[in-house]
Structure 1
């Protein structure tokens, strides 16, 4: 329960930040062009609000319905009084098409800038750590998903889409985006096509586990707390497991496969301990196996040579822009696949329930800001859609006006906006219902 609460608090803070930044973009540009802003609200406030206070011409507040936020700009949404009145110089409709276009685009611009700023600061503080593909010396380890798309333990990936992937960090994304994988399988070069039938396995997964990782030797990191059987066995940190019941073990995947044959049995474990071969009797538990945690490839600096990059603030800026652009390209690719029913990418669509699951159960600021930056560029992308009531819908009307040099009838704009709002509302309700089904019923 505590972990669920922490996840939702992180989601609430992240979404609130994105809404405020988005609406602030509209607000700042409206003020810059001397357009009056009547209301600035975090969340919607039908019938009543949790908090509101008028400062100058603007009422600032917090609504009770956490499905977004809004700024009410004078002259943007017509009422009966405004329709019959003369245009005032503080009204949105009195401004030039360029100024109106900038005001409407302010939210999208703000979300893009927020993503760039967050990634820039994260790169400046932490830098980046890469594993060059050439240093993945033992090939890859795959899970059931990796096997379904044709990969096998020990494969060495040579190319994806005919291109060499310099860093292994980029390999999973390249595979999801690609159409073919070329591997070296025990000295034989094999080409694996990635059609929609195979990609559906990648999109239809319930968890975002990596389906490939570097193949590694089984080296003990530490023992499971209070696991008596592991204490009896005498296994220690940094022991490298060499065999189980005289069956030779070279890699972690081989250890897992072997241990599952001896569930609830005692086995003879041979380990390399500081150059000495030690043999111990250990019990194979159904859940904890040998009662040990093994090292991951990240813990094996002596085996895998990582490249670590540190950036000055100036250097981190172009890399922050590049990272934002890369995430945007991934989102566009995912959106294209949503309409390919065969890939089942539509199953990854979710509401705040799905988003909450992506946050860690323990508070982690690095992950929080990374996910917030990702959501920020996603929000910018969605708002570009030319649907009335979204920013993209207003942008489309203004662009049409700029091209035709004719003002679109305000009644038509208003009716289209109401219709667009109804469409968006129905879509949101369907997504939430689908998410509830996925999270709680499936």
Structure 2
């Protein structure tokens, strides 16, 4: 199946699970407090629904617009803007007739479910599959270091041992730590065996973001092709899985990062590539090109990158990935740890959204769908679902009218002052919040479309 459809199916399944459980977080306490719930919908039923059935006082259904879901609670100013109901005298079973503390529990129920769900999923994932990590010993060649970080004293081939004086179990996490966490110093082992603790400037994450250096440490890998995209420039030139790149434009290639650097620096220009195929020559049938035999086991071809500057290859990984297993009790602690740091890191990077560069990188459903793998993988699916659940909790608690957080702010105001906000004010606030949300959705998905068309 096409990777696009696999990603789309995973996205729809993940969102369906999260939306239904989020709305149950509102639905269950509302029913417990005797509040009438008129509708419970997965997706929005603008004009019509794909399915609906009334059970008791509630109409359950599936809408056709997959932008979210909702529960319509009687006597509440929400996105339905049911002014006719609000104009009538309050009924005992309505939301507005209940004590403020009960209404607060109803409103924070969805966010609470998303946080707890993220924790539970992470817990079950690490219990079932364990936690992958790559130790310094699993990376004998160390990291290729971006030039901007070499200014601080890092070198190609460095192995990262500690961050802020504490052992870094998973070496690959170093980029995330630098970008999102408070890193003061990093202890590395250079290729000559000497250890050195290097200080890192304050606000290094902002520097990385502004300069576009999001992966300053890249594992050193040999230039061996793991796969070649069918119909891509490399495939048309005759390159195949297992080929070893020897040089590009007469520049000797020893490692994968040198290969990618040469491709990037030539900005889409034709590349003269010499490669070796398993130490023995195999004839290659080229499309309007001819391979030149250089030695017994080397071939020379010309490859022109596509419009995105890519030639359609991926590397073969030689790094060993270990997996730590956990008991059920240990998984609880690890799951909580993962949920906490996922929320922490997402909040930490949220500040970049308010920069000019960050605004252009905001994504909608296309970006969310891109989080899922091309091939169906249950571990990756559940890890991504847990991540989205944490994000939804954070986004929903933002103090924007029309979101749960907006309702919570008004309820807290009422509980502190003892005064209920004016219903007309609430209606206008809800309308403004709804307009803001629609604008954000359009902007985020517009970014997705722009990137798809022009990047």
Bucket of the pairwise TM-score, normalised by the shorter protein: 0.7 to 0.9
The alpha carbon displacement at 1:155 in A equals 3.0
Distance 1:388 1:267, change over 3 A: closer
Moved more, 384-393 or 71-80: 71-80
Aligned equivalents of 2:239 and 2:18: distance in 1?
48
Alpha-carbon displacement from aligned partner over 1:300-357 (angstroms, at most 9, x marks no partner): 47xxxx4x3211222211211110111111110111122244xx33333101112222
Instruction: Please tell me whether the aligned partners of residues 179 and 205 of structure 2 are also in contact (alpha carbons under 8 angstroms).
Output: no
The structural deviation recorded for 1:397 is 0.5
Q: Map of 1:342-357 to 2, 5 A cutoff?
A: 344-357=357-370
In the alignment, which residue of structure 2 is the partner of 1:200?
Answer: 210
Q: How does 1:167-316 map to 2 (within 5 A)?
A: 167-177=170-180, 178=182, 182=186, 191=199, 193=201, 194=204, 196-202=206-212, 212-216=217-221, 253=257, 263-265=272-274, 281-286=297-302, 295-298=316-319, 300=320, 306=322, 308-316=323-331
Does the alignment pair 1:338 with 2:353? yes
- What aligned pairs does 1:86-97 form with structure 2 within 5 A after superposition? 87-97=90-100
Separation (CA, whole Å) in 2 of partners of 1:39 and 1:195: 45
In the comparison of the two structures, how many residue pairs are matched?
408
1:432 to 2:436 alignment: no
Partner residue, 1:276: none
Is the contact between residue 237 and residue 303 of structure 2 (CA under 8 Å) also seen in structure 1?
Answer: no
Q: State the alpha-carbon separation in 2 of the partners of residues 219 and 434 from structure 1.
A: 35
Deviations 1:259-301 (A, max 9, x none): 9999455779989xxxxxxx9622245569xxx9864243x47
Equivalence for 1:274: none
Structure 2 CA distance for partners of 1:163 and 1:200, relative to 1, 3 Å:
farther
Deviation sequence 1:149-196 (CA, Å, 0-9, x none): 546522344655676534313212112125666556665955554363
TM-score normalised over the length of structure 1: 0.78
Q: CA RMSD in A?
A: 3.9
Distance 1:354 1:219, change over 3 A: closer
Residue matched to 1:141:
144
Cα deviations by residue, 1:26-85 (Å, 9 ceiling, x for unpaired): 111111112110000111112221111101000011112221111000111263344331
CA distance in 1, matches of 2:276, 2:6: 41
Q: CA deviation at 1:423?
A: 1.4
Give the Cα separation in 2 of the matches to 1:119 and 1:419: 36
Unaligned runs of at least 5 residues, structure 2 = 281-294, 305-312
Spell out, residue by residue over 1:118-140, the C-alpha distance to the aligned partner (whole angstroms, 9 max, x if none).
Answer: 11111111111322346544321
Change (3 A) 1:339 1:265: closer
Q: Tell me what 1:68 maps to.
A: 68
Mark the CA change 1:164 to 1:393 in structure 2 (over 3 Å): closer, same or farther. same
> 2:257 & 2:144 partners in 1: Cα distance?
7
| 5+ long unaligned stretches in structure 1 | 272-278
Distance 1:264 1:128, change over 3 A: closer
Counterpart position of 2:102: 99
- Counterpart in 1 of 2:396? 383
Q: Decide whether aligned partners of structure 1 residues 434 and 268 sit closer, same or farther in structure 2, where only a CA change above 3 A counts.
A: closer
Distance in structure 2 (CA, Å) of the matches to 1:335 and 1:383 = 14
